[in-house]
């Protein structure tokens, strides 16, 4: 029988990362933060002085294929540099969104992502986990929250880290990112046909986790 996968897809700052990480821990499964792969690609290309322009799609793919990426628990390394923090900035998110619209970049990351599917199972967080990467996953969650809610959560996160920002600029950024992610031709952000929708605008992390765990138990 196939190795189980729980997909958690949804727009920027919908709480996917948090939900997916808690689920992985509770289920004792592996965890794939697929956005980190696009973030690292954007970071490496920017550092190499390659403009994130479709004219440079092949150059970005060549660079990506040469990147020594390693995962260690929740940390991500690029050669001998821990880039876990560097890839989390708003700029890194926007750059990830730009490179992720290039079909060749997406294609180059497919096998790497599928390689995370190991026993006893996987929780995968992203935009196209259920639609493209793991279409046979028994549970696909599409997590949303209102834009106002997502901007406010991101604002609190950044302020608590001492990073100055405003709710309005965050909301504008996340709406721009969602618009790009939803309108691209390859693997656009959208719920899989068999996805279960969860709007967590008014839910705590605990109750979102409980809801999804109940869905998962229902599949066993
Ligand atoms: O989830 P995260 O914010 O880290 O993702 C950063 C960007 O990477 C997203 O805005 C999206 O453009 C892209 N992405 C994607 N497909 C995924 C995960 C992320 O296109 N599976």
In a domain, 111, yes or no: yes
For ligand 1, is residue 14 a contact (CB within 6 Å)? no
Q: How many domains does the chain have?
A: 1
In a domain, 220, yes or no: no
In a domain, 184, yes or no: yes
In a domain, 210, yes or no: yes
Return the best residue to mutate from 127, 170, 184 for the ligand 1 pocket (most ligand atoms within 8 A of CB): 127
35-63 average pLDDT score: 98
In a domain, 131, yes or no: yes
33-50 average pLDDT score: 97
For ligand 1, is residue 10 a contact (CB within 6 Å)? no
What interface predicted TM-score (ipTM) does this complex get?
A: 0.98
User: How confident is the model over 169-200, as pLDDT tens digits?
Assistant: 999 999 999 999 999 999 999 999 999 999 99
- The response to whether 17 counts as a known ligand-binding position is yes
Exposed, middle or buried: residue 41 (CB in 10 Å: 0-12, 13-18, 19+)?
Answer: buried
CA-113 nearest atom, ligand 1: 21
User: How confident is the model over 88-119, as pLDDT tens digits?
Assistant: 988 999 999 999 999 999 999 999 999 999 99
- 73: which 2 tokens? 């628990």
- CATH code, domain with 206: 3.40.50.300
Q: How far is CA 217 from the centre of its chain?
A: 24
Query: CB of 102 within 8 A of CB of 56?
Result: no
In a domain, 219, yes or no: no
Q: How far is CA 22 from CA 32, 83, 134, 208, in A?
A: 12, 22, 20, 10
Distance 158 CA to ligand 1 centre (A): 19
Structural domain span for residue 180 = 5-214
Query: CB of 71 within 8 A of CB of 84?
Result: no
- 71: which 2 tokens? 């995962």
In a domain, 115, yes or no: yes
In a domain, 60, yes or no: yes
**Local structure of residue 2 (DSSP, 8 states):** P
- 22: which 2 tokens? 């808690």
- The response to whether 15 counts as a known ligand-binding position is yes
User: How confident is the model over 18-27, as pLDDT tens digits?
Assistant: 999 999 999 9
For residue 73, cis peptide bond before it (omega within 30 degrees of 0) = no
For ligand 1, is residue 96 a contact (CB within 6 Å)? yes
């Amino acid at each position: 029988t196939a190795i189980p996968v729980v997909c958690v897809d949804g727009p920027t700052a919908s709480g996917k990362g948090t939900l997916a990480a808690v689920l992985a821990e509770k289920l004792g499964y592996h965890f794939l933060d697929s956005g980190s792969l696009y973030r690292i690609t954007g970071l490496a290309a920017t550092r190499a002085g390659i403009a994130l322009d479709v004219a440079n799609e092949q150059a970005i793919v060549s660079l990506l294929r040469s990147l020594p990426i390693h995962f260690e628990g929740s940390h991500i390394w690029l050669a001998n540099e821990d880039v876990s923090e560097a890839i989390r900035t708003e700029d890194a998110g926007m750059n990830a969104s730009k490179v992720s619209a290039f079909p060749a970049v997406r294609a180059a990351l497919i096998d790497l992502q599928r390689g995370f599917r190991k026993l006893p199972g996987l929780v995968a967080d992203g935009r196209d986990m259920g639609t493209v990467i793991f279409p046979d996953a028994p549970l696909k969650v599409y997590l949303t929250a209102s834009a106002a809610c997502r901007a406010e959560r991101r604002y609190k996160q950044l302020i608590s880290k001492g990073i100055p920002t405003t709710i309005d600029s965050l909301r504008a950024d996340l709406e721009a990112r969602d618009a790009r992610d939803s309108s691209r031709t390859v693997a656009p952000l959208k719920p899989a046909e068999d996805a279960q929708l969860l709007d967590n605008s008014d839910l705590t992390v605990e109750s979102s986790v409980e809801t999804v765990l109940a869905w998962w138990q229902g599949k066993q």
